[in-house]
Amino acid sequence: MKIKDIVNIINGKVVCGKEQMETDIQRGFASDLMSDVLTLDTDNILLITGLANLQAIRTAEMSDITCIIFARNKKVTQEMVYLATENQMVLIECACSVFKTAGELYKAGIKPVF
Amino acid sequence: MIMHFEYDIEGGDFSKAGNVSSLLKKTLKQLVGNHKIVKRVVVAMYEAEVNVVAHAYSGKVIIDIDIDKISIYLKDKGPGIEDIEQAMQDGYSTASEQVREMGFGAGMGLSNIKNNADEFLLNSEVGVGTELKIVAYLKNL
């Protein structure tokens, strides 16, 4: 599914990475625990989290995750945008809960990692 | 040896946690074609770097990149680990509330490092500090 379609489904706001809206993503993972994210060896996934801090961006960088959705109305900081832009990531803010965000995307065809 | 790096890590400063891992990733992406190996090494490095920031006062990282392997040595000054066997168990953690707010501190870091390393050696002295050696082989190149 293209990132632009993901944004539409969750009614999200793209904070940075607007030039990557045509990128295709197949699978998703939801966690606030970054150590859990770091155990994954699946490529090309999106991360749904309520953890809005620099470590979420660093974790995504190490895990080759290029798209992060910040659910529960969490706001992305300028520092996060700077680091994400340096690593060509897409950051999306979303007012829904992690549960609803994941549910809507699953319904639309995004597959789980496991 | 192809490359040798040394970096300092500041304990308690989460704004910089991951800086060394990020530099390592950028370097390895240029040198190592197999991205699965790069990911394993940087995930291990990142968990180890977060551990130093979370638990120690200060630390030093030495990274040696050879033709056939990458060796990472971390040495920190800090409280040390009382019982390494216990610390290696999934779910055991002495992390502070601040560390948990950063998305870590669930007692997964050390086993995550071990799972991503071909060699893993952990030594610690209570009240002095901790030493960790991680080696990843580049056998699949």
Residue B68 exposed, middle or buried by CB count within 10 Å (0-12, 13-18, 19+): exposed
Instruction: Tell which B residues from 93 to 132 touch A, by Cβ distance under 8 Å.
Output: 101-104, 106, 108-109, 112, 115
Select the residue from A33, A44, A57, A58 to test the B interface by mutation, using most B Cβ atoms within 10 A.
A58
Of B48, B40, B53, the residue nearest B9 (C-alpha): B53
**Chain A positions in Cβ-Cβ contact with residue B46 (cut-off 8 Å):** 38, 58-59, 62
The tokens describing B117, both together, are 């390393």
Is it the case that residue B141 has pLDDT exceeding 50? no
What's the CATH fold of domain A3-112? 3.40.1390
Summarised one tens digit per residue, pLDDT across range B19-68 is 999 999 999 999 998 999 999 999 999 999 999 999 999 999 999 999 99
pLDDT in tens, chain A (114 residues): 999 999 999 999 999 999 999 999 999 999 999 999 999 999 889 999 999 999 999 999 999 999 999 999 999 999 999 999 999 999 999 999 999 999 999 999 999 999
Domain at B3-137, CATH homologous superfamily: Histidine kinase-like ATPase, C-terminal domain (3.30.565.10)
Query: What is the H or E stretch that residue B59 is in?
Result: strand B58-65
Summarised one tens digit per residue, pLDDT across range A20-29 is 999 999 999 9
Closest Cβ–Cβ partner in B43, B101, B109 for A62? B43
The domain limits of chain B are: 3-137
